[in-house]
Amino acid sequence: MSRLPAAVAAALVVGLAAPAPAAVEQAPPPPRIERVGRSVEGRPINVVRIGDPAAPRKVLVVGCIHGNEPEGRKIVDLLRGAVPPPGTELLLVRNINPDGLQRHTRQNAHLVDLNRNSSQGRRFLGGPGTPYYAGPKAFSEPETRAIRALILRVRPAVTIWYHQPFGVVDRPETGSDAIARAYSRISGLRFSPLAPRPGSMSRWENVRVRPGSSIVVELPPGTLSAAAAQRHAAAVLGLAAGAAP
Q: Report d(CA 19, CA 17) in Å as an integer.
A: 7
**Using a CB cutoff of 8 Å and minimum separation of 24, what contacts does 16-19 make?**
16/78, 16/81, 16/82, 16/230, 16/233, 16/234, 17/230, 19/81, 19/83
Q: State the pLDDT at residue 126.
A: 83
Q: State the pLDDT at residue 27.
A: 61
In this structure, what CATH number is given to the domain that contains residue 170? 3.40.630.10
User: Which residues form the domain of 208?
Assistant: 6-240
Q: State the pLDDT at residue 15.
A: 44
Backbone angles phi, psi at 77, to 5 degrees: -60, -40
pTM for this model (two decimals): 0.89
Residue 48 lies in a domain: yes
Burial of 176 (0-12, 13-18, 19+ CB in 10 A): middle
Q: State the pLDDT at residue 30.
A: 86
Residue 64 lies in a domain: yes
Residue 228 lies in a domain: yes
Residue 245 lies in a domain: no
Nearest to 141 by CA among 75, 67, 207, 33: 67
Q: State the pLDDT at residue 101.
A: 98
Q: State the pLDDT at residue 7.
A: 36
Q: State the pLDDT at residue 16.
A: 53
Residue 17 lies in a domain: yes
Identity of the amino acid at 127: G
Nearest to 92 by CA among 40, 179, 43, 34: 34
CA terminus-to-terminus distance, the chain:
6
Give the model confidence (pLDDT) of 74-122 as tens digits.
999 999 999 999 999 999 999 999 999 999 999 999 999 999 999 997 7
Q: What angle do helix axes 226-240 and 178-187 make, rounded to 10 degrees?
A: 140
Rg of the chain on CA atoms, in Å: 17
Q: State the pLDDT at residue 88.
A: 97
Q: State the pLDDT at residue 245.
A: 55
Number of domains in the chain: 1
Residue 45 lies in a domain: yes
Residue ranges, the chain, pLDDT below 70: 1-28, 244-245
Residue 59 lies in a domain: yes
Residue 1 lies in a domain: no
